């Protein structure tokens, strides 16, 4: 049986042309015109001054948190419902992640829970936009201003998603995700809207942070005195080959988003009649790019996500489970973190949620097959 994969990228001749240019000219490592152009174009698209490419989204977060110069025990607030990269970035930099539960509709961090977790050790908030839907950013921005905190925005999953900022102020304005953080991070892994295979980018408007990020990315080499080091950095560089792929996709980002929004609409229309199935939302203040089409099984279905996934696998359809919250990870319990903490919304969706095939190469026929199979199992 042919399996419908949970993700398949959609690449074109343009990527091939740009990558071939790198091969022909020999610019295959971490310098070259595509690096500069990719950084400039993506930063401009997101409304930012500076883009710093990195080797992946995880290293982007680590770099961004390194820029905060945390002291041991400093705290960074983040959702429990996220990838481990977020918590790791803080821990590797000597800090402590502090968790909040997520909103049951958008599955993004519940911004109403943030303020009660702020202490004298809090240095930053790390909002993570989930599965294509933005976090409600205005309250996050207000808290950051009130308590003088930095924002490390994780926009890995929301290329091109938009948020209606200032909707209560009389001056509402649509802004792209990635435009809100002191430092904002993207991933360009193969399942992302824009992919460079592996890759990522950090965006900022602050020239000093941009310079710091570039230096940390490249082992803190100094332009004037190359092998003389005043800081400990990383090798988190992206290659020109990868940037060439990325640039080709930035040039057609609107088409990519259109395709994802088509997929989101189609799934929603075709699955809306199933009782007890929670589908992704698009809040009035958000433009969802449906990075992955997540669904949550209600108790009425009598199934959990693992059993449901097996049923779909039997019908040739691959899925992925939702994140398991950071507070449920043995690796953190061993370090004495999050012991006995409970986040009921995240715990429920971790067990009841999964995402359906959502890649850019998904055809209408495949989407129909997925919806038929979901109906078959659930009705």
Please identify, among the stretches 50-58, 268-276, 295-303, 364-372, the one whose residues bind ligand PLP according to the rule CB under 6 A.
Answer: 50-58
Q: Which of 235, 153, 161, 224 lies closest to 193 in space, CA to CA?
A: 161
Based on the shown chain and the rule CB under 6 A, indicate whether residue 56 belongs to the binding site for ligand PLP. Answer: yes
Extract the tokens encoding 183: 């430092």
How far is residue 144 from each of residues 68, 80, 156, 234, 246, measured CA to CA in Å? 14, 19, 21, 28, 32
Based on the shown chain and the rule CB under 6 A, indicate whether residue 150 belongs to the binding site for ligand PLP. Answer: no
Based on the shown chain and the rule CB under 6 A, indicate whether residue 158 belongs to the binding site for ligand PLP. Answer: no
Query: Cα–chain-centroid distance for residue 321?
Result: 16
CB nearer ligand PLP, residue 123 or residue 192: 192
User: DSSP readout, 8-66?
Assistant: -----HHHHHHHHHHHHHT--SS-SHHHHHHHHHHHHHTT-SEEEEESSHHHHHHHHHH
- When binding is defined by CB under 6 A, the residue of 154, 162, 266, 282 that contacts ligand PLP is 154
Helical ranges in the chain per DSSP H: 13-25, 33-45, 57-67, 84-92, 137-147, 207-217, 240-250, 253-271, 305-314, 330-333, 344-352, 364-378
Based on the shown chain and the rule CB under 6 A, indicate whether residue 58 belongs to the binding site for ligand PLP. Answer: yes
Based on the shown chain and the rule CB under 6 A, indicate whether residue 75 belongs to the binding site for ligand PLP. Answer: no
Based on the shown chain and the rule CB under 6 A, indicate whether residue 200 belongs to the binding site for ligand PLP. Answer: yes
Q: Minimum Å distance from CB 213 to ligand PLP?
A: 16
- When binding is defined by CB under 6 A, the residue of 22, 52, 67, 83 that contacts ligand PLP is 83
Quick note: the x/- pattern for ligand PLP over 109-138, rule CB under 6 A, is -------------------x----------
Based on the shown chain and the rule CB under 6 A, indicate whether residue 82 belongs to the binding site for ligand PLP. Answer: yes
Cα atoms in the 13 Å half-sphere on the side-chain side of 106: 26
Q: Minimum Å distance from CB 314 to ligand PLP?
A: 27
What residue ranges bind ligand PLP (CB under 6 A)?
A: 56-58, 82-83, 85, 128, 154, 156-157, 187, 189, 200
């Amino acid at each position: 049986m042919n399996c419908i994969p949970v993700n398949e990228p959609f690449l074109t001749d343009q990527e091939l042309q740009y990558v071939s240019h790198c091969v022909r000219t020999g610019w295959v490592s971490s310098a070259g015109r595509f690096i500069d152009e990719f950084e400039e174009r993506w930063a401009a698209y997101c409304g930012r001054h500076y883009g710093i490419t990195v080797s992946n989204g995880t290293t982007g977060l680590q770099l961004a948190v390194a820029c905060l110069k945390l002291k041991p025990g400093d705290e960074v607030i983040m959702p429990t419902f996220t990838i481990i990269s977020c918590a790791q970035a803080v821990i590797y930099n000597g800090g402590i992640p502090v968790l909040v539960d997520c909103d049951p509709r958008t599955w993004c961090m519940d911004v109403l829970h943030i303020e009660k977790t702020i202490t004298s050790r809090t240095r930053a908030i790390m909002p993570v936009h989930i599965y294509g839907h933005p976090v409600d950013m205005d309250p996050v921005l207000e808290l950051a201003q009130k308590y003088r905190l930095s924002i490390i925005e994780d926009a890995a999953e929301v290329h091109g998603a938009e948020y209606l900022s200032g909707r209560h102020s009389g001056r509402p304005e649509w802004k792209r995700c990635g435009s809100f953080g002191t430092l904002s991070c993207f991933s360009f892994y193969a399942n992302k809207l824009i992919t460079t295979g592996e890759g990522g980018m950090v965006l900022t408007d602050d020239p000093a942070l941009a310079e710091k990020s570039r230096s940390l990315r490249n082992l803190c080499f100094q332009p004037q005195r190359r092998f003389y080091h005043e800081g400990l950095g990383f090798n988190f560089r992206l290659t020109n080959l990868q940037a060439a792929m990325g640039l080709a996709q930035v040039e057609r980002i609107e088409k990519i988003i259109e395709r994802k929004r088509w997929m989101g609409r189609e799934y929603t229309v075709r699955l809306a009649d199933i009782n007890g199935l929670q589908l992704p939302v698009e809040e009035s203040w958000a433009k969802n790019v449906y990075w992955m089409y997540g669904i949550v099984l209600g108790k009425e279905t009598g199934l959990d996500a693992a059993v449901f996934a097996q049923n779909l696998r039997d019908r040739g359809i691959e899925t992925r489970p939702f994140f398991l919250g950071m507070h449920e990870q043995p690796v953190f319990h061993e370090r004495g973190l999050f012991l006995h903490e409970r986040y009921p919304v995240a715990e429920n969706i971790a067990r009841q949620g999964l995402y359906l095939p959502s890649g850019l190469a998904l055809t209408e026929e495949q989407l129909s097959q997925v919806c038929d199979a979901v109906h078959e199992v659930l009705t």
